[in-house]
């Protein structure tokens, strides 16, 4: 059960990271991350399952496609919208529209049925301190630790992180000091797409893929982000663990039909209690 | 004729939903994804009161509005603490919670299997039976909703709402409470949506939770945004478009599984296109022009 | 405001104009209300093909009383309000005496009161919600109610397999709940015990929490009500967490090609219940004709819709060759149908208009479905 919680938390964490890298830097509440997620999973499926490219190659291709998807949405949807000074809500709705287009295109070409990246294969199960984990789940844990560490390093230490923070705190000032905020924003869109693709592939390997998988996965990631607080990697990590814990152990306490209620009620309560998230930045407008 | 009347009844019901949601979107600048929840609360309250408790239609519809208004008050509370995109997600969470209750509280709502046998609405001895009679009721309901919203918006309260949308601090400085204004708008909006729900339940005679799930909320929101927020005519236009366009598609070409996805994709494209070209919607007054500076935490 | 009212009126007038045209004078007309677009289209397209095939065959054989049979299909999008639109459009434009549909139970239940009042016969090829039994005298279905399947499975597992304590894992929507309720009602009344009933959302992909909960409970087996996607997940994940309990599936999803492909070895030994496959000449001829017309084997609900059209046509044929057919004689004809050899099996309607069909218990052995036994009939 604890092992399940860790794996579920790792999944939430990656999606949450994909979402917040875009949200924190550009202020776009981006449903398109869900599109990149599903796209990544399906490109991997196409490459590995139909074109018979080795799995590693398929994954690289899929990640490239997902980042390209993130970049393209940023370039042709959000930069124009922001230039027109569309409100953040309009941008959010536009991203939802874009998500729907991608989802329907996938369904159109690939069909509605669920597919597996590893059809018919039995995955080896490892016993670890009394918990049963598949090798894929171990991989998921490793990758999310990598992303967490990398995220921390980029955010705190590297020059990229400095530029990133400069742009997100004051784009005008950043522009004056010779940084092109649009380029940085596009970089973040691509990064979000890439992380979305990573989680799409992880889901595909561990579970199944469907054209509508993106939104479902994204929403829980967003919930974790909001609970943790936007812009806080540690907050996201803690919130992913808490949400995953509730989902796994909530089933023990009450019948699982009510599972959604627990998580979403917690979100509502936290938003009432601490609108910025548990560990979020305490910035207040006005 | 019955077909046409049915479409018009739907236009009236969804028109009322869009107009009542616009109270939040157009006048307060709050996007809410829980309108279908209030629609459903209205429908289920009427259904339960008239079928299981034998309460007459009009009092039952009134109680449905009261029930939704109370829930609306609760749903509005987070809007005092969070705004913009945050509130969208909180309202989404609220929608999911309400749907789950409808779907799982089987002894009350009939659960996933649906609620059958809602009695034919009776208003002062008049059985609202035929499609034409139902259209009359739905049209009167829409008229009432429009009047209520119009009255509210053009009253001093409406001006305070606009002020809250533009600058909460300023409102605070003039001695009014922005929070109270928001909550009042939530209560009214939820109550009006429930009235539409009551008419829907009485008209359909059968309801089930899937008619009130989150995609319905998204659709109502799209009606307001595409038609144009801030104006009753805009919301109505949105409702007409999103109800009538799919019906027109019945008359064109052969439908198939492919067409379904093409249509879904087209909806997304239309949404993106309208937002890119006419961010205010087709005939809307638009949201306020202010755009949050990048990077500012919207909390 | 004026603007949009005008638009509404113009659109309405347009609808009325186009909506006016119906079938040619003198044709027999059958309506169909099926989900042709949206997520449920996969359940609606096959029955529309099955119905079309039946109409084509009837017309090639000379029609009914020398007149042609015509099928008019409308899309319900699997939403009650759109289902009513479809029904209203049909009854207004072509006045069918009988309609094949709907597929989604919510649509069937929403249309049923209208059909009952208008005296139009409704024959559903796919709605399994137990509530439809009480929907009215004009409402029939060619697919067994979930109630029938749940009862049969509960009896089999209790009496034949000897189970006393089970847990249920079901998809928490109308289909899943209907199956779960009838199973647990019957199983409990036989003296068995349902120790837990865990529902999961239709779009869920991770069922490990539910399975782990069941693992810690005192029960002998798990009864699963699922769709193909979740069937794969249940099979794989119960192995991953080391559940160690036999799985009994109250669904035909186990036979879905995607399950056998994606679950692989994990599907081995799964036991499941489904309406018994029909055999005989009608079935063979239907399968061949379907394959010839659409290039594939008949999919879910195609045979049921085919039978629905054939039965309605038989009702038309039994009436004198006069101009106008109404629903009432069609209803009376269907009530009398006994042991009709259809493409979907042997059809007899009970007093509720529900079909009573034998059920088959099957098992996956060496990656292939194998018949274990047949119940009822």
Q: What sections of chain C are H helices per DSSP?
A: 2-19, 41-60, 80-93, 105-118, 146-155, 174-189, 208-215, 228-240, 257-263, 281-294, 302-318, 327-335
Domain ranges of chain C: 23-143+279-347, 147-269
Q: What is the DSSP letter of C191?
A: T
Among B77, B275, B86, which Cα is nearest to B184's? B77
Contacts of the segment C337-341: beta carbons below 8 A, 24+ positions apart? C337/C311, C340/C307, C340/C311, C341/C278, C341/C280, C341/C281, C341/C282
Helix (H) or strand (E) holding A198: helix A181-206
State residue B286's pLDDT score: 58
List, in sequence order, every residue forming a beta bridge with C362; answer none if it has no partner.
C272, C371
Task: Kindly state whether A247 is in contact with chain B, defined as any CB-CB distance less than 8 angstroms.
Answer: no
C147-269: CATH homologous superfamily? Response regulator (3.40.50.2300)
| ipTM metric | 0.84
Please indicate whether, in this complex, the C-beta atoms of A113 and C228 are within 8 angstroms of each other. yes
Instruction: Report whether C278 contacts C301 (CB < 8 A).
Output: no
Torsions phi, psi for A161 (to 5 deg) = -65, -40
pLDDT in the model for residue B145 = 96
pLDDT band at B282 (very low <50, low <70, confident <90, very high): confident
Average pLDDT for C343-370: 90
Is the confidence at residue A250, as pLDDT, over 90?
no
* B113 inside 8 A of chain A by CB: no
- CA-to-CA separations, A42 to A38, A214, C228, in angstroms, rounded: 6, 11, 19
**8 Å CB contact between B60 and B186:** no
The residue in chain B having the minimum alpha-carbon distance to the alpha carbon of residue C11 is B244
Do residues C46 and B257 make contact, with C-beta atoms less than 8 angstroms apart? no
For C295-315, give one letter per residue: b (16+ CB within 10 A) or e: eeebbbbbbbbbbbbbbbbbb
Residue pairs between chains B and C whose CB atoms are closer than 8 Å: 141
Cβ neighbours around B88 below 10 Å, total = 23
Residue A285 lies in a domain: no
Alpha-carbon Rg for chain A, nearest whole angstrom, is 19
CB contact under 8 A, A251 and C213: yes
Contact by Cβ (8 Å): B72, B39 = no
Place of tokens 């085919």: C306
Residues 246-275 of B with CB under 8 A from A: 258, 261-262, 264-265, 267-272, 275
Strand A125-128 versus strand A131-134 pairing type: antiparallel
Measured between beta carbons, the chain C residues lying within 8 angstroms of A259 are: 200-201
Which positions ≥6 away from A201 have C-beta within 8 Å? A40, A41, A44, A59, A62, A63, A117
Instruction: Sort out which chain C residues have CB atoms less than 8 A from B2's CB and list them.
Output: 88, 91-92
- Decide if B100 and A261 are in contact by the 8 Å CB cutoff: yes
> A261 CB near a chain B CB, below 8 Å?
yes
Mutation for A interface: C240, C259, C266, C268, most A CBs within 10 A: C240
Residue C85, min C-alpha distance to chain B (Å): 6
For tokens 């559903």, name the residue: C124
Distances (CA, A) of A82 to A75, A163, B275, B279: 11, 20, 12, 11
Taking the CA of residue B204 as centre, how many other CA atoms within 13 Å lie in the half-sphere pointing to its CB? 33
**Residue A272 contacts C where some CB pair is shorter than 8 Å:** no
CB within 8 Å: C262 and A115: yes
Q: How many Å apart are CA A16 and CA A12, to the nearest integer?
A: 6
Residue A282 lies in a domain: no
Is A236 among the domain residues? no
Task: Calculate the alpha carbon distances from A246 to A6, A241, A251 in Å.
Answer: 12, 9, 8
Neighboring chain B residues of A258 at a CB cutoff of 8 Å: 100, 104
Cβ <8 Å between C258 and A115:
yes
Taking the CA of residue C9 and the nearest CA in chain B, the distance in Å comes to: 9
- Best B77, B79, B83, B268 residue to mutate vs chain A (most A CBs within 10 Å): B268
How far is CA C25 from each of CA C21, C28, C67, C239, rounded to the nearest angstrom? Answer: 11, 9, 10, 62
| A283: pLDDT strictly greater than 50 | no
Whole domain around residue A207: which residue ranges? 2-116+129-211
pLDDT in tens, A6-57: 888 998 999 999 998 888 877 788 888 999 999 999 999 998 888 888 888 8
Indicate if the pLDDT at residue B292 is higher than 80. Answer: no
Q: Is residue A235 domain-resident? A: no
CA distance C11 to B113: 35
CATH T-level assignment (fold) for domain C23-143+279-347? Rossmann fold (3.40.50)
What's the gap between Cα C133 and its chain centre?
13
Rounded to a whole number of angstroms, the CA Rg of chain B reads 19
Q: What is the dihedral of CA B153, B155, B159, B165, to 10 degrees?
A: -40
Please say whether the beta carbons of C48 and C34 come within 8 A.
yes
Residues 57-86 of A with CB under 8 A from C: none
Residue found under tokens 């670890």: A128
In the beta sheet, which residues pair with residue C178? none
Give the integer Cα–Cα distance in Å for C55 and C70.
7
Confirm if B297 and A284 have CB atoms less than 8 A apart: yes
Contacts of B257 in chain C (CB under 8 A): 36-37, 41-42, 45
> Does the reported pTM lie above 0.90?
no
Please report, for residues B10, C267, C268, the alpha-carbon distance to residue C160 in angstroms, rounded to integers and kept in the order given: 52, 22, 21
Q: What confidence tens digit (pLDDT) does each residue in A59-97 have?
A: 999 999 999 999 999 888 888 888 877 778 888 888 988
**Dihedrals φ, ψ of A155, to 5°?**
-65, -40
Q: C208 to chain A: nearest residue by CA?
A: A4
- Mean pLDDT, residues B75-99 taken together: 88
> Which chain C residue's Cα is nearest to B103?
C173
DSSP output for C1-60: -HHHHHHHHHHHHHHHHHHT--PPTT-EEEEEEE--SSTTHHHHHHHHHHHHHHHHHHHH
Number of domains in chain A: 1
Whether B116 and C11 lie within 8 Å, measured CB to CB? no
Mean pLDDT value across chain B = 86
Q: Quote the pLDDT of residue C6.
A: 47
Residues of A in contact with B271 (CB under 8 A): 93-94, 96-97, 100
A76 touches chain B (CB under 8 A): no
In a domain, A268, yes or no: no
Angle (CA) B177-B76-A78 rounded to 5° is 100
Q: Give the mean model confidence (pLDDT) for residues A222-244.
A: 87
Asked if residue C278 lies in contact with residue C346, where contact means CB atoms within 8 angstroms, the answer is yes
Of residues A259 and C343, the one with the higher pLDDT is: C343
pLDDT in the model for residue C354: 94
- A283 domain residue, yes or no: no
Q: What is the pLDDT of residue B2?
A: 85
- Which residue, among A27, A6, A11, has the nearest Cα to A231 in the 3D structure? A27
- Sheet order of strands, C247-249 included: C193-200, C165-171, C221-225, C247-249, C271-275, C359-365, C368-375
Q: Is some CB atom of chain C closer than 8 A to the CB atom of A256?
A: yes
Q: Indicate the pLDDT class of residue B287, thresholds 50, 70 and 90.
A: low
Q: Which chain C residues have a beta carbon less than 8 Å from that of A136?
A: none
Query: Would the pLDDT of A128 be above 90?
Result: no
Strand C28-34, strand C98-101: pairing: parallel
Under an 8 A CB cutoff, do C206 and A210 touch? Answer: no
- Report pLDDT for C323: 64
Around C85, how many Cα atoms within 13 Å sit in the side-chain half-sphere?
A: 26
Domain-embedded: residue A271: no
Rounded CA-CA distance C202/A39 in Å is 21
Give yes or no for a contact between C219 and C250, defined as CB atoms under 8 angstroms apart: no
> CB distance B297–A230 less than 8 Å?
yes
Task: Give the span between the Cα atoms of B162 and B171, in whole angstroms.
Answer: 10
Q: Closest residue of B to C4, CA-based?
A: B237
Give pLDDT tens digits for C92-146: 888 999 999 889 999 999 999 999 999 999 999 999 999 999 999 999 999 999 9
Q: Angle of helix C281-294 relative to helix C302-318, nearest 10 degrees?
A: 110
Residue to mutate among B34, B71, B104, B297, with most A CBs inside 10 A, is: B297
- Taking only the tens place, the pLDDT of each residue in B240-268 is 998 988 888 777 655 555 666 777 777 78
Q: Minimal Cα–Cα distance from B113 to chain A, Å?
A: 15
Evaluate whether residue A243 is within a structural domain.
no
Interface probe for C, chosen from B8, B43, B255, B259 (most Cβ of C below 10 Å), is B255
Nearest by CB to A247, which of C172, C209, C264? C209
């Amino acid at each position: 059960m604890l092992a399940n919680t860790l794996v579920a938390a790792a999944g939430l964490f990656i999606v949450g990271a994909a979402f917040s890298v875009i949200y924190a830097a550009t202020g776009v509440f981006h449903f398109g991350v869900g599109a990149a997620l599903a796209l990544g999973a399906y490109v991997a499926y196409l490459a590995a399952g139909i074109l018979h490219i080795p799995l590693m190659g398929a994954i690289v291709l899929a990640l490239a496609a997902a980042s390209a998807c993130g970049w393209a949405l940023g370039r042709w949807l959000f930069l124009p919208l922001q230039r027109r000074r569309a409100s953040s809500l309009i941008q959010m709705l536009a991203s939802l529209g874009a998500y729907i287009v991608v989802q329907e295109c996938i369904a159109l070409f690939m069909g509605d049925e669920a597919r597996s990246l590893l059809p018919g294969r039995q995955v080896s199960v490892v016993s670890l301190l009394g918990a049963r984990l598949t090798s894929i789940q171990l991989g998921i844990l490793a990758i999310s630790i990598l992303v967490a560490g990398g995220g921390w390093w980029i955010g705190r230490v590297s020059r990229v992180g400095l530029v990133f923070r400069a742009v997100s705190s004051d784009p005008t000032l950043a522009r004056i000091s010779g940084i092109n905020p649009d380029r940085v924003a596009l970089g973040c869109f691509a990064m979000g797409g890439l992380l979305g693709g990573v989680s799409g592939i992880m889901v595909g390997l561990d579970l199944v893929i469907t054209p509508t998988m993106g939104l479902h996965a994204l929403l829980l990631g967003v919930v974790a982000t909001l609970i943790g607080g936007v812009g806080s990697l540690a907050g996201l990590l803690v919130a992913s663990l808490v949400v995953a814990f509730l989902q796994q152990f909530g089933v023990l306490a009450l019948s699982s039909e009510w599972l959604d209620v627990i998580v979403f009620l917690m979100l509502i309560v936290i938003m009432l209690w601490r609108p910025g998230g548990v560990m979020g930045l305490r910035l207040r407008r006005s | 004729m019955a077909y046409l009347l049915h479409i018009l009844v739907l236009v009236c019901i969804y028109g009322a939903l869009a107009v009542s949601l616009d109270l939040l979107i157009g006048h307060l600048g709050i996007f809410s994804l829980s309108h279908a929840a209030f629609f459903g609360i209205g429908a289920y309250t009427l259904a339960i009161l008239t079928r299981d408790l034998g309460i007459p239609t009009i009092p039952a519809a009134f109680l449905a509005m009261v029930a939704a208004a109370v829930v609306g008050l609760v749903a509005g509370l987070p809007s005092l603490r969070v705004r913009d995109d945050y509130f969208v997600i909180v309202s989404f969470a609220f929608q999911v919670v309400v749907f789950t209750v409808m779907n799982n509280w089987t002894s009350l709502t009939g659960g996933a299997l649906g609620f059958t046998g809602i009695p034919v609405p009776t208003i002062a001895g008049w059985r609202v039976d035929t499609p034409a009679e139902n259209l009359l009721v739905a049209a009167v309901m829409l008229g009432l909703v429009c009047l209520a919203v119009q009255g509210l918006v053009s009253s001093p309260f409406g001006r305070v709402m606009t002020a809250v949308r533009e600058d909460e601090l300023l409102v605070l400085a003039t001695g009014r409470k922005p929070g109270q204004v928001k909550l009042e708008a939530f209560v009214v909006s939820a109550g009006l949506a429930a009235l539409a729900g009551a008419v829907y339940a009485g008209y359909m005679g059968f309801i089930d939770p899937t008619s009130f799930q989150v995609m319905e909320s998204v659709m109502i929101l799209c009606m307001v945004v595409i038609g144009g927020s801030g104006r009753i005519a805009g919301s109505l236009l949105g409702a007409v478009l999103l109800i009538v366009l799919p019906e027109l598609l019945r008359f064109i070409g052969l439908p198939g599984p492919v067409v379904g996805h093409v249509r879904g994709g087209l909806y997304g494209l239309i949404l993106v296109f309208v937002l890119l070209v006419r961010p205010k919607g087709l005939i809307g007054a638009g949201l306020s022009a202010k755009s949050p500076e990048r990077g500012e935490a919207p909390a | 405001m004026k603007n949009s009212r005008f638009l509404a009126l113009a659109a309405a007038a347009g609808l009325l104009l186009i909506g006016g045209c119906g079938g040619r004078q003198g044709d027999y007309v059958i309506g169909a209300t099926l989900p042709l677009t949206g997520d449920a289209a996969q359940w609606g397209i096959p029955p529309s093909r099955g119905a079309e095939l039946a109409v084509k065959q009837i017309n090639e054989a000379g029609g009914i009383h020398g007149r042609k049979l015509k099928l008019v299909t409308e899309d319900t999008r699997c939403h009650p309000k759109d289902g009513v639109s479809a029904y209203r459009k049909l009854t207004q434009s072509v006045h069918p005496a009988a309609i094949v549909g709907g597929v989604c139970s919510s649509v069937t239940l929403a249309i049923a009161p209208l059909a009952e009042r208008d005296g139009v016969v409704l024959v559903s090829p796919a709605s399994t919600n137990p509530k439809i039994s009480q929907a009215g005298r004009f409402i029939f279905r060619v697919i067994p109610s979930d109630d029938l399947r749940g009862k049969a499975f509960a009896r089999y597992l209790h009496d034949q397999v000897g189970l006393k304590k089970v847990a249920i894992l079901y998809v928490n929507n109308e289909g899943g709940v209907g199956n779960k309720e009838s199973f647990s009602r019957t199983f409990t009344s036989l003296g068995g015990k349902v120790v837990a009933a865990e529902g999961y959302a239709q779009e869920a992909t991770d069922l490990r929490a539910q399975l782990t909960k069941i693992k810690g409970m005192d029960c002998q087996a798990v009864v699963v009500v699922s769709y193909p996607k979740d069937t794969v997940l249940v099979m794989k994940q119960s192995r991953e967490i080391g559940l160690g309990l036999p799985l009994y599936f109250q669904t035909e999803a186990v036979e879905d090609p995607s399950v056998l492909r994606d679950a692989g070895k994990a599907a081995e030994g799964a036991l499941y219940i489904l309406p018994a496959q029909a055999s005989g000449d009608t079935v063979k001829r239907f399968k061949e004709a379907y394959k010839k017309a659409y290039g594939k084997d008949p999919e879910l609900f195609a045979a049921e819709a085919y039978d629905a059209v054939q039965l309605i046509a038989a009702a038309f044929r039994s009436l004198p060759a006069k101009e106008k057919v109404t629903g009432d004689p069609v209803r009376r004809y269907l009530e009398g149908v006994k042991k009709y050899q259809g493409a979907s099996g042997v059809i007899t309607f009970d007093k509720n208009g529900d079909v009573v069909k034998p059920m088959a218990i099957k098992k996956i052995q060496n990656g292939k479905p194998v018949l274990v036994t047949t119940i009822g009939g």
